[in-house]
Structure 1
């Protein structure tokens, strides 16, 4: 599987990592416990089986023109299904347009994950992967009521086969 992800600016990354730390310190599930070097706050725009030839270059051109994109985090919720604890991302028109453009670039790719499709996509930053709804109130108190702002400053692709990342933008 290959993903297309937006990477947080330094201030947004710090805010999310601080929330991960507070959750872990409170004894709650948290992505702070994932020590793999590719683990970092990100927003997944799409996931497919493999990239068709030329897609990485087309995505890089798209991101170099579109980023940075301002972002504001909203409330903390548990998503249905796999039960991740997430911080919802305010879906601005710029973010929705970028998301749709990524899907246009990936039009010929096989194995699109439908939960990332325009119309179904819930933009979010993950805080914990397996979370119980019963702990949501405590998690909200631990994370706090702030609404961090920042931007998505770069993009990458994660390869689930070898757990590696490929930058899709120049370093900013």
Structure 2
């Protein structure tokens, strides 16, 4: 069995793409996933599966959500090592006075080249900052996520990827939950 974390983008936000977590959990169990566990209403779902390929699991979940609920919800599926690398490779955690309330991680559907940061034209968003690590973009907002145009829609458009963003508190909690599952 492989444990996957499916990060659903854009559900239960401002009254759009509403999916109750108990209904989502039941749908996933009916698909054959085991040990289904959700965290908060914004679409963080752990599933155990015989399928090892994370992208395949995410695609199946996306298809079933559309069939069951009628919502076209992008899904990025990651493993425990992805979350561990967030802690190891986030350059902003190394800063002396890091305000984790302003840290976010954008999980991307595919590997990015180091040159992808140039495509984002980060300098246009100063004083916000960003760094790329494989299939993650670490963002440090100067004021907050609600006050910038450096968001997942912009990232998806510029890089032609599926992206979903989580704040640092959520990333921390999801890693704790992964560790509790072992």
Fold match, TM over 0.5? Answer: no
As a proportion of its length, which structure holds more strand? 1
- Structure with greater contact order relative to length (CA < 8 Å, sep ≥ 6): 1
As a proportion of its length, which structure holds more helix? 2
- Give the TM-score normalised by structure 1: 0.29
- Give the TM-score normalised by structure 2: 0.28
